[in-house]
Every structure is written in C-alpha cells, then in structure tokens.
A and B are shown apart, each in its own frame.
Chain A
Amino acid sequence: MSTAGFNSQNGTGTGQTYANGPSQNPVALQQLPGVSYGMTHQPSYNPMPAKAPPPTGPGLYPSAPYQPVPPVSSYQPGPQITSYPSSPGQPLLPRPPLSGPPSHTPPQSASPSPGPRMPPAQATPPPPAVSSSSYYPSPQQPMAPAWQYNTAPPPMGPPTSISTPPRGPVANHVNPAASLAEPLPPSLAPYSTAPPPRVSQSVTQPPGPGMPPTSMLGYTQPGTAPPPMNPMVPNTYQPGRPAYGPPPTGPSPIGPPPIMKPTPPPTGTPVANTTPPPPKGDAGLAQPGPPGRHLGHYPSLPPGYQNASAPHGTSSMHPAMQAAMQPYTQAPQPYQQPPGGPGPAQLSPSLAAMSLQSSTPEALRVVNLLQERNLLPPTPVPAPTPCLPQDLQKINCNPEVFRCTLTSIPQTQSLLNKAKMPLGLLLHPFKDLSQLPVVTSSTIVRCRSCRTYINPFVSFLDQRRWKCNLCYRVNDVPEEFMYNPVSRSYGEPHKRPEVQNATIEFIAPSEYMLRPPQPAVYLFVLDVSHNAVETGYLNVFCQSLLDNINALPGDSRTKVGFITFDSTIHFYNLQEGLSQPQMLIVSDIEDIFLPTPDSLLVNLNECKELVQDLLKSLPTLFGKTMETQSALGSALQAAFKLLSPTGGRMSVFQTQLPNLGVGALQSREDPNQRASAKDIQHLSPATDFYKKLALDCSGQQVAVDLFLLSAQYCDLASLGCISRYSAGSVYYYPSYHHQHSPAQVERFQKDLKRYLTRKIGFEAVMRIRCTKGLSIHTFHGNFFVRSTDLLSLPNVNPDAGFAVQMSIEDNLDDMQVVSFQAALLYTSSKGERRIRVHTLCLPVVSSLSDIFSGADVQAMTGLLACMAVDRSVTASLSDARDAMTNAAIDSLTSYRQSVLTIQQPGLLAPACLRLFPLYILALLKQKAFRTGTSTRLDDRVFAMCQLKYQPLFYAMLMIHPALYRVDDLTDEGALNINERTIPQPRVLQLSVEKLSREGAFLMDTGTVMYLWIGRNCHPNFLTQVLGVPNYAAVPENLYLLPELDTAESQRTRAFVGWLRDQRPFYPSLHVIRDESQLKANFMQNMIEDRTASALSYYEFLLHLQQQISK
C-alpha cells in the first residue's frame, strides 16, 4: 500500500474502448503525479456474457407471493391476524415475482372523473341534507373529485377475502404456546437496561394506567354536551354519491344518533359569544366585532383588506407551544392538559358533563375567519392534546412520533362521514430519540390472538391476566413478567417498563429472525459521465465519505462497495491483499454480470486503506471523460446483483436523464407548458422498469437512495420509483454545480454527513394495528405493502415519515378509548434484531362537537397532502386541487350545520380548525400542486415525494413556511439552550404586507431559508450582522452569515443555527435583495397574497364562504 496510486497499465490486453483511462492525470491530487488508473493484472475483465448469473428468480424466497394491496382494508383485528399469510417454514420475506404486481398504486379514487367542483351546482337539498348527503355539493356529478376519505374505498372483495380467511385457522396454534414452551434457563431471562428515570415516573401512579374501569367510567370529554343537531340528524342520511363506493360501513340509515346518554340539554355548546369563554384573555376575540373595530380584523370588504396592519395579540392561548418542538424527553412534562380535561375523571358521567358545560373548550371557540386576521400563533403550532384522563395521557405516545388527524375518534363511520374530516395516522417511527427504554427479555409478551405487544393501555384483570386493548382477548401474564427488574419486585406486572412506556424497544429473540442478522452493507453507485464530472459532485462525495468513513454505522462486519458508470459499468476490486484498487469495466450493459462477485463488496475494516485510496483518486480518474451517455438502468441491475445475497443500502448518484440501455428515458417535459398547461402531464412513471427493479430490491432487502443532481429534466417521476418502492429516499439538488451554486454544495456536504452517519435499520418490516372496529386502508410513504398491512422496509432511517388512512368498520359503541400500535422490526447496524413499538391511545366520542374539538389541523393537512399527491397521479392535478378545496368546504360546512347552534354571518370555524383554510390555500400554492406558475416538472415531483415521506413536522414547513423579522431580535423571551441564548421572534403571516423596507426577514421553508433585506434596512443590521457598509454592498450570492463579534450577529446566527438544529438535513440560506434572482422564490411563498394565478387568502375565504352558505 506504499504507492497510493493505481497501476498505469491501463487497457492491457483488451480492446476495450473506454475514454476514461487517460495515461496521465495532470490534475492528480494526493501525490499521484502521472499515475493513471485502469486495468491492472486483469486480463479477464472482459468476461463472457454467458457468465451472467441466472436472474434471481422467485427461487430464493419461495413463499407467499406478494399480494397486491387490496385497496379495501381487510384488516380485521380478529383472530386471523394471528397468522401470517404463509405456511410454516416460509420465510419472512417473500420475493416478489419478477413481474411485480403493481400493487402499490393508490387505489382509492374510484374512477375519478375530473369534474371540477366549480360549477356551483348547489341546487342541492335543504340544509341538513347538504351536510350529510353530499360530500360534494354537486349531486349530478357523482364522480366529483373529493375524497371519500372516511369510508373504506370501493369494495374489491376478491383479493381480500381470498387472502384473509385461510389465515384464520392457522393462527392460534402457531406462536403462543411455543414461546411458552421454550425452555429457558432461569439465568437467561434477565432483563436489562430499563433506564432508571422511568421508574420514578411509574411509581407515581398508583392504580396503574391499565386499570381503568373505575376512573374511566366517570370520564367524559369537555364539551360533551349533546349536539344540538340531533333533531337534524336525518334518518334519511345517505351518502350522496353512491359511485364513490360502498355505503359507509355502519348502518347508515339509522344515522348517528350519537349518544344516548341522558345528558342535559345543550346549554353551552360551542358558540363562544353566548358563553363565557374560558378565562384566558382571548374572550373578546370571539366576538365578531364590527368590521374594522380591531385593526387586526378583516374589514368587511375585500378591497380594504390590504390596509389593515397592526398586529393584534390574538392568540395568547397556547402558552406551551414549545411542546411540539422539544426533544423527546420523558413523555409527561410537555403535555398540556386541556382545561377541564383531567378533573372530571373521578366524577360520574353526568356530573362531569355538567361541570364541563360551563365553559366551551378553547378548541371549539367560534372564530369568524373573515374578521379575525391574525390567526397564526406567535410560535409553532403544537399538536392538540387528546382528551384523556390524566393518567393515560401522561404516558401516551409523543405526538411527534405518532399522531392522529382526529384526537377524538368518532364512534361510528356515519358520524365520521358527517364530520367530513379525514381520519388517519401520521408516524415518524424511527425518529431519533434522546431516551428510549430498551428491554431484553426472552419472552416478549403479546396478545395471543392479535399479536399486539403489551402496552400501557391494556388492562389487568388481576395479577395473572391482562386484557388486550386492541382485540379484547384475555391473556395470561407469563411468569417471567411478574418480576419487575426495574424495581426488583415481584407481583407488579403493571409496573414493568412495557406497561409504563408508550414507546419502547425490545431486543428480539431468535424467533424474529429468518436468517442471521445481516451486516451493514453500503454500496455506492456513482455517475461519472461528462455531465457528472462537470458538476464536480464527485469531489464532495469522496471527501465526505473519507471524512465520515469511521462514522458509518456498523460493526466489524460492515461491507462497502463502489460502482461507477457512464455508458459502461465499472466495478472496483478492493480485495484485501491487493496493493491498489482494480477497476473492472463491463461494457456489455445489455446482459450485466459481476466480474468478480466476491471481491467487489469488501469488509470495510480489513480493506479500509484500499477504499480510501479509491476515494482519493476517484474524482480525478474521470476528469477528462467525454462520455456523455448514462446507462443507469444497467448500473442499478449490477448493484442489485451485488447486494442481493445480503441486502443493504444502495446510494445512487445521478446527474442526468438515463439514456442508454435498460431503463433509458426520454425527456417528457415541455418547458413552454410549465406555466400555461391546463393540467400537468407526466406525473406518473414513463416505464415500470424502476418500479419492478425496486420490488426485486425490496424482496432482497435492498433499499435504494437516489441523489439527483441535475440542472436538466431527469424524469424524477420515473426514477423516483426506485426509491419509493424499496423504502429509500430521494435527495434532489437542482442545478448543482461546484462553482455556480456554493449554497447547494454546502447543503450537499452537510446532507451527506447526516446521510452517512445517521442511524440505519436493515431488513425491516412495520405493522400498524388498531383496535377492533377501526381499519387501516391506505398507506403513504416509501415502502412496499406486503400482505395487506405489512410494510416492507429494506432500510429504515430516522428521517422517514409514514401516513395511513383509516375507516371505522364497526361501531365503537361501548368503547371509551381506542389504541393504535406501530411495531417496527429491524436489524441494527450492529447486527441486533430489535422491535420498536409505539402505542397511541385516543378517546372515542359520540358527538360532532367533540370530534371537531379534537381535530388536529396540521395532521389533517399532512394527510390531505399525501392523498392529494396520489390523486394527482391517478387522476389529475386539478382534481387533487379541487378535492383539497372541498375538504375545507366540507368540514366547515359540517361544522356550521351540525355543531353551531346559533347561525351567524361570516365564515365560521372552530378555533382548532382556524388555520385549516390557510393550510389548504398553502397546499394549493405549494410547488407540488400549484398551477399557473412556472414550475419545473422535477421540482414538482420532488415536492410531491417529500410531502409523502417527510415526517409531519418538516412537511409543515414546506407547506406553510415560517416568516420572522430578524433585524430587531432581542433577548426578550429568548430560550436558553446549552448556554446559548436563542431569540424567539414571533411567526409572521406570509404576506408582503408584513415586510417592511426598513427590516430584514427570515423565511424558513424547511430545506431553504431566505433572508430578505429591505432596501432601507437599518444600517446597524447591515454592518453588525452582514458585515457590509450599506444595502448596495450586500453581495449577490451571499449564503453565509459572517461570524462577527457583535451581539446582533450572535443573536442572528444563534437563531438560524437553532432552526437548523431542529431538522436532520441542512437548510441552505440565501441572502436576497430586491434584485436577486431568488426573490421570486421568496415571494412565491407569500401565501396570503394574491398572485396572477391564485387567490389571496381573503379571496379564498370568500370563495369558501360562498360555497358553504349555499
């Protein structure tokens, strides 16, 4: 290894034509003068194509074929879940047939006929009927573009019914008995590492959370007052558009006479101005004052809208906004109990109800959106707190990890249909947690019939029996579970960490492995065509990997490998013992094969020097290449072959449209149509090559992450499939160039660091279970759905989010609460098989007002965005846009007609939904869905990808960026973190009206931050923060804040740094002036303003009002 170079006998013995083996490398770095790189002692690099291995067919994993995802949820938490749809002996991971059934395509929108909603065919029935019968106000258009999100999609009976029944019988005799029968030496059953702090927490709650009967009975939610709409609940309720699919599962004709509780008359239901609102200082705001009475209110006429200005301390009602932002600490602290929430738990139902009626919960305070302008809370919007008894809520799952669009679950599907809000879960299951209890136990206690993991929300009938909170089966408590290793006491099963923590991780016993845990395997596939070399990304990549090579997650088994490609595929032999890496070129891209299968993926520890040598020389190797073609498809096939024996992670770097060999694509974008097109074409893939390959990868536990660095159209809609179905991720750096876009380079660098060093889980699967009666029917995110509800995740990373839609199949009549459990089984980079389990518990309610008061507007927005992405692809973008608008109209209509007792003019929303129209408008103006503004197709598709797989917290910034004024930062109200003072400017509305020429404003869009400098910006800010004498001296391409030793500079940098720290990937910062090119991007995020092609917020509200009052 003394010579750090490669042999220069390049091309020996072969007539291979490759342009990249120059005999000299004038620019060679790393003391490699005159060394070139090429073939060394490898006369055999031109192997015969016949050597190509047989396609790895379904042979390796012979089991149950992939089942196409039945669009209908067949998930019935009954006994059939116990079995897994494969017979004994079958592997965990069936391979897909090579022709991978296109099962993932979102099935919901049943034959959507793009009928825009606009025709206000509101000739629809009288008021009550409108709300219930037509989710869509135009009955003559049965296919109108709305989501029937609350009902299970149209019946696709066959697939489901075929797949489920056989599962039943096999079930019961499989696991449970066996696990008990397993002989365990007593010494082997210890249990380790429950972190001490947990204990103290648990000790404080005497009855144990799982023993609700008494406390739960008396528990009612605030605002349980029976809805006044009872009289209106029409017995004639029918879903208005039958074509949308099955009538709601519940007995719809009966309607949802929600509660039969003998509750008192609706004294204090929602109307705020008739009830004394909670003493919170916002009382006056509920009053729809006369136009203009408060400066902050909308004037009654649109034209004057732009003039109102002075901020108005609207919402002082969320003091603990930070809750959602704080790192995951021990669950309880951050939670806020809603006023009146916990108290009544001990009261009898009627008493509780009465005590609560005296005040309307804040969530239901009536807000007239047309009048109340400053709706944004000054700090980020926190997740609502489920209305649960305190002892349950205290241990409930952190909303950053697990969140539901409705924190109060409707009792019946028909009630849900009436509420017209989407029901679904948003998950961030592998989030980096600062504290996570880990349990090692030879027996993992699970329900014998539905396989739910024991959790804090089960009930203990006595010391020896527990009742499952999902299927209600009574199970025995295993002997081992009687001993609590934390307290070292016996006979307190309800104090075990499993029952004290809603998020917990188990070290899995060997029953959870079908093969020995795989090692961490990383394969890098790099584009080295002329175009790629031009961007200069190779340097950054190689340097980042060199810098982080010791921080790659793994152990002594970790393997790495490299493939580069242009019109041919280049492999690198890194076998231990070689003096330098050998490059092997395969030019037969039609029938790709591996030249030396065992030495291409090598043990990182043993071959680190060779790997480092390679990384040092790679950037210069192809410096003079003239090869412009890109055989990405073949490179992917080769990489797949290389990884399929073990599984692992494939990181693909691509800089252009693949144009050679399999998977070649053509440009489908007409730049002239970007702005003018009526509807956006080419959102779906041009070929199924990438999807099929991704399914093959999924079957072999290979995930593909795609880094796209390109100025040109690359057809991300097609390429993205490779990551989407293999549970990878897509990273996109449009117009990446090492000189022209320094901000992109910096972001790429930082992102790579995060990417290379973050936690990773291999060969993972995730299942989400929910209480009997609820049913999950559609999944969003990057994965492949195997066997109806099992998500196959060859890799799982801490930055991946998921969403699911749900329907209510059986009435939840006699239930106080329901639970949801996500279980993620994965292999850590150290070869440990682990199961991370999250359990969320939510109350069941029977009145519409309760449903509304529990609405989580951000979660709803996130879920709607996922649904809209699917809709855009399966139907059309305009369809998706209409459906989003209708979601706002429908929910507010339902609120107005069914919850409000006193009709008043204006556009009324409950306080918890007051941001809903704003978020919907923001979605309509988001890159993914906007029309009329020039948007590159790849940018749009990328935005769609992100909306689908980003955790909600990050997605919300993409949807509704945060705007702060930063030229006047003060330490008042600042946070103090690690001895750093972080100023907390308030969040401003996204309107030009909020900008001022005298100021400087920071807009945070999640992946990009813009610092806009006003023309007359205070010289103090310019000199003290930007280090320039005057406005004209602000450089054009400034993307770094200079580190000046001034208080202003420190504050600004602390604030920007703090914002960056809250997300895994690095948002770049652009300082912009009025003349900057990027100003347009900045201004496009001014969501509340009118643009040539889109309504202003106020106009949008008027539109909603018009639709609602019809």
Chain B
Amino acid sequence: MILLTMVARVADGLPLAASIQEDEQSGRDLQQYQSQAKQLCRKLNAQSPDRCTLEAGDMNFHYLIAQGVCYLSLCEASFPKKMAFAYLEDLHNEFYDQYGRRVPTVTRPYSFIEFDTYIQKMKKSYVDSRARRNLGSINTELQDVQRIMVANIEEVLQRGEALSGVTKLCQSPVRP
C-alpha cells in the first residue's frame, strides 16, 4: 500500500506535488508522516544519497533523487521495496517529462499539484494486484534494491542542529 507520495525540489525542499491516500477506510493518521516527509525534503541536499529507505515504525519512506527533484513515498513496511522504487522511477520519468524544465523557476509550493492525477493513477496500478505482472521486469533490478541504504527516519531528522528551526516551522500550526 502506498499511502503518501510527495515530489519536492531538493535545493530548498519546496514541495512541488503530492498525493495523499484518499482511502477513508484505512482511517490512518498520516499527519505525522506528512510532517516528517516535509522535514525530510528540507533536509536533503546535493550530497544526500540518491536512493534511500527510511524506516518509520511499521512504515517505510522510500525516496529517489533525480535531476534535482526528490520523489518520496510512504509505504507499509510489507510493501515490496522493488515495487516502491519502480513506482518512484515511473513518477520521475513522467514528471521530468512534463515539468522538468520548469522545476528551477517556480516559487509557489505545490506548483505542479495537478500531477496528483497521474500519481493517483500510477499508485493504483502498483497497488492493484493486477500489477503483479510488473514484477517480472522489476526482478532484474532486485540486486540494486538490496544495496539501497536503509536508515531510521528519526535519526535522520534529528541529525544536525540547524535543522531544529526548520522542524518547528514545519510543525507550527498554520495561523491565518
């Protein structure tokens, strides 16, 4: 199950597009994960590994960085890692195609929120059991996936002092 997907610019963590799981039956609270995802995107920089899995309880964050854009998803820990990264790859191909050149120029958060429509479709096809047929093509990359770095989200987020201000900012409730 892919619960949350976010696309952000690595340079400044500006969110570009996102999709949250709209399944009310899961009834899960994603708020905390969303705020972690935002923090994580701010934390990333050019030196960050371009693929990484971050454990967060019974969930995993997977992210992929390509062309200065980070694609991040939150999946249940049981969701196959290789599928998760294949999914992110797919997002990247489409996103870069559609918006790649405009990424450096935008200033407004979620400027490409309309990408949400595509994300939702992709998500459905990956979560759908029918998508098992995709597995064949993914298997070959299995080796790669296993080499992807695994860390713990809490640790990553707490690393570094300068981060704390940002953390608060993210968490401070919105006040009009």
* Contacts of B1-40 to chain A: CB distance below 8 A: 6, 11-12, 14-15, 17-20, 22-25, 27, 29, 31-32, 34-35, 38
A85-93, A961-969, A993-1001: which lies at the B interface? A85-93
Q: Are B116 and A557 closer than 8 Å at their CB atoms?
A: yes
Q: Are B27 and A53 closer than 8 Å at their CB atoms?
A: yes
Judged by a CB distance under 8 angstroms, whether B176 is at the interface is yes
- Shortest CB-to-CB span from A52 to chain B, Å, is 9
> Could you say which residues of chain A place their CB within 8 Å of the CB of B168?
88, 173-175, 177-178
- Given A62-B29, A641-B24, the answer on whether A84 and B176 have CB atoms closer than 8 Å is no
Task: Report the Cα distance A507→B108, complex, angstroms.
Answer: 7
Judged by a CB distance under 8 angstroms, whether B96 is at the interface is no
Give the contacting residue for A513; candidates B12, B107, B174; CB below 8 A: B174
Interface SS of A by simple majority? loop
Q: Are A510 and B176 closer than 8 Å at their CB atoms?
A: no
Give the contacting residue for B173; candidates A84, A173, A646; CB below 8 A: A84
Give the contacting residue for A91; candidates B11, B110, B173; CB below 8 A: B173
Chain A 632-662 interface mask (CB, 8 Å, partner B; 1/0): 0000000001001110000000000000000
Q: Are B109 and A833 closer than 8 Å at their CB atoms?
A: yes
Judged by a CB distance under 8 angstroms, whether A832 is at the interface is yes
Q: Are B107 and A190 closer than 8 Å at their CB atoms?
A: yes
Q: Are A511 and B31 closer than 8 Å at their CB atoms?
A: no
Q: Are A185 and B12 closer than 8 Å at their CB atoms?
A: yes
> Could you say which residues of chain B place their CB within 8 Å of the CB of A451?
175
Give the contacting residue for A184; candidates B12, B114, B174; CB below 8 A: B12
Q: How many pairs of A and B residues are in contact by the CB < 8 Å rule? A: 148
A459-467, A515-523, A668-676: which lies at the B interface? A515-523
> Could you say which residues of chain B place their CB within 8 Å of the CB of A183?
12
> Could you say which residues of chain B place their CB within 8 Å of the CB of A979?
none
> Could you say which residues of chain B place their CB within 8 Å of the CB of A645?
22-24
Chain B 134-176 interface mask (CB, 8 Å, partner A; 1/0): 0000000000000000000000000000100110111111111
Judged by a CB distance under 8 angstroms, whether A179 is at the interface is yes
Task: Report the Cα distance A174→B19, complex, angstroms.
Answer: 27
> Could you say which residues of chain B place their CB within 8 Å of the CB of A88?
168, 171-173
A823-831, A845-853, A936-944, A1083-1091: which lies at the B interface? A823-831
- Shortest CB-to-CB span from B109 to chain A, Å, is 4
- Chain B contributes a number of interface residues (CB within 8 A of A) equal to 41
Nearest-neighbor residue (CB-CB) of A446 within chain B: B175
Q: Are B173 and A597 closer than 8 Å at their CB atoms?
A: no
- Shortest CB-to-CB span from B125 to chain A, Å, is 13
> Could you say which residues of chain A place their CB within 8 Å of the CB of B113?
516-517, 519, 557, 831
> Could you say which residues of chain A place their CB within 8 Å of the CB of B14?
188, 510
Give the contacting residue for B12; candidates A177, A188, A641, A833; CB below 8 A: A188
Judged by a CB distance under 8 angstroms, whether B67 is at the interface is no
> Could you say which residues of chain B place their CB within 8 Å of the CB of A188?
12, 14, 107
Best-surrounded residue of A517, A603, A641, A835 (most CB of chain B within 10 A): A517
Task: Report the Cα distance A543→B49, complex, angstroms.
Answer: 56
- Shortest CB-to-CB span from B42 to chain A, Å, is 9
Q: Are B27 and A91 closer than 8 Å at their CB atoms?
A: no
Q: What class of interface size applies to chain A in its complex with B?
A: 35 or more
Judged by a CB distance under 8 angstroms, whether B93 is at the interface is no
Nearest-neighbor residue (CB-CB) of B176 within chain A: A825
Q: Are B27 and A92 closer than 8 Å at their CB atoms?
A: no
Best-surrounded residue of B11, B17, B34, B107 (most CB of chain A within 10 A): B107
* Contacts of A800-839 to chain B: CB distance below 8 A: 823-825, 831-833, 835
- Shortest CB-to-CB span from B97 to chain A, Å, is 16
Task: Report the Cα distance A177→B167, complex, angstroms.
Answer: 11
Task: Report the Cα distance A178→B124, complex, angstroms.
Answer: 37
Q: Are A516 and B174 closer than 8 Å at their CB atoms?
A: no
Give the contacting residue for B165; candidates A86, A178, A513; CB below 8 A: A178
Nearest-neighbor residue (CB-CB) of B34 within chain A: A515
Nearest-neighbor residue (CB-CB) of B118 within chain A: A556
Judged by a CB distance under 8 angstroms, whether A767 is at the interface is yes
Give the contacting residue for B117; candidates A56, A557, A824; CB below 8 A: A557
Give the contacting residue for A84; candidates B107, B114, B117, B172; CB below 8 A: B172
- Given A61-B31, A62-B31, the answer on whether A513 and B176 have CB atoms closer than 8 Å is no
> Could you say which residues of chain B place their CB within 8 Å of the CB of A92?
173-174
* Contacts of A176-202 to chain B: CB distance below 8 A: 177-179, 181-185, 188-190
Task: Report the Cα distance A59→B165, complex, angstroms.
Answer: 28
- Given A177-B165, A511-B169, the answer on whether A646 and B22 have CB atoms closer than 8 Å is yes
Q: Are B19 and A516 closer than 8 Å at their CB atoms?
A: yes
Q: Are A54 and B27 closer than 8 Å at their CB atoms?
A: yes
- Given A511-B170, A557-B113, the answer on whether A56 and B176 have CB atoms closer than 8 Å is no
* Contacts of A686-729 to chain B: CB distance below 8 A: none
Chain B 33-77 interface mask (CB, 8 Å, partner A; 1/0): 011001000000000000000000000000000000000000000
Task: Report the Cα distance A509→B172, complex, angstroms.
Answer: 13
Judged by a CB distance under 8 angstroms, whether A514 is at the interface is yes
Q: Are A510 and B15 closer than 8 Å at their CB atoms?
A: yes
Judged by a CB distance under 8 angstroms, whether A766 is at the interface is yes
Task: Report the Cα distance A53→B26, complex, angstroms.
Answer: 9
Chain A 549-571 interface mask (CB, 8 Å, partner B; 1/0): 00000011100000000000000
- Shortest CB-to-CB span from B119 to chain A, Å, is 10
Task: Report the Cα distance A182→B58, complex, angstroms.
Answer: 31
> Could you say which residues of chain B place their CB within 8 Å of the CB of A824?
176
Give the contacting residue for B172; candidates A178, A185, A765; CB below 8 A: A178
Nearest-neighbor residue (CB-CB) of B8 within chain A: A510
Give the contacting residue for A516; candidates B20, B23, B29, B166; CB below 8 A: B20
- Given A53-B27, A181-B165, the answer on whether A513 and B110 have CB atoms closer than 8 Å is yes
Task: Report the Cα distance A1091→B112, complex, angstroms.
Answer: 63
- Given A178-B166, A641-B24, the answer on whether A767 and B176 have CB atoms closer than 8 Å is yes
> Could you say which residues of chain A place their CB within 8 Å of the CB of B22?
645-646
Q: Are A516 and B117 closer than 8 Å at their CB atoms?
A: no
Best-surrounded residue of A511, A603, A823, A835 (most CB of chain B within 10 A): A511
- Given A514-B173, A641-B24, A767-B176, the answer on whether A556 and B114 have CB atoms closer than 8 Å is yes
Judged by a CB distance under 8 angstroms, whether A539 is at the interface is no
- Shortest CB-to-CB span from B169 to chain A, Å, is 3
Q: Are A831 and B110 closer than 8 Å at their CB atoms?
A: yes
Q: Are B23 and A825 closer than 8 Å at their CB atoms?
A: no
Q: Are B108 and A440 closer than 8 Å at their CB atoms?
A: yes
Q: Are B175 and A56 closer than 8 Å at their CB atoms?
A: no
Judged by a CB distance under 8 angstroms, whether A512 is at the interface is yes
Judged by a CB distance under 8 angstroms, whether A164 is at the interface is no
> Could you say which residues of chain A place their CB within 8 Å of the CB of B31?
60-62, 89-91, 514-515
Judged by a CB distance under 8 angstroms, whether A442 is at the interface is yes
Give the contacting residue for B108; candidates A57, A184, A832; CB below 8 A: A832
Task: Report the Cα distance A598→B170, complex, angstroms.
Answer: 31
Q: Are B110 and A597 closer than 8 Å at their CB atoms?
A: no
> Could you say which residues of chain A place their CB within 8 Å of the CB of B169?
175, 178-179, 181-182, 511
> Could you say which residues of chain B place their CB within 8 Å of the CB of A442?
107
- Shortest CB-to-CB span from A724 to chain B, Å, is 21
- Shortest CB-to-CB span from B127 to chain A, Å, is 11
> Could you say which residues of chain B place their CB within 8 Å of the CB of A91?
31, 173
- Shortest CB-to-CB span from A96 to chain B, Å, is 16
Interface CB pairs A-B, < 8 A, 25: A53-B25, A54-B25, A59-B27, A59-B29, A60-B27, A62-B31, A86-B173, A89-B32, A92-B174, A177-B165, A181-B162, A182-B166, A188-B14, A513-B174, A514-B173, A515-B31, A516-B15, A519-B113, A597-B23, A598-B124, A603-B117, A606-B117, A644-B24, A765-B176, A767-B176
List residues of chain B with CB under 8 Å of any chain A CB.
6, 11-12, 14-15, 17-20, 22-25, 27, 29, 31-32, 34-35, 38, 107-110, 113-114, 116-117, 124, 162, 165-166, 168-176
List residues of chain A with CB under 8 Å of any chain B CB.
53-54, 56-57, 59-62, 84, 86, 88-92, 173-175, 177-179, 181-185, 188-190, 440, 442, 451, 507-517, 519, 555-557, 597-598, 603, 606, 641, 644-646, 765-767, 790, 823-825, 831-833, 835
Name the 8 nearest CB pairs between A and B, nearest first.
A178-B169, A825-B176, A88-B171, A516-B18, A510-B109, A645-B22, A181-B165, A84-B173
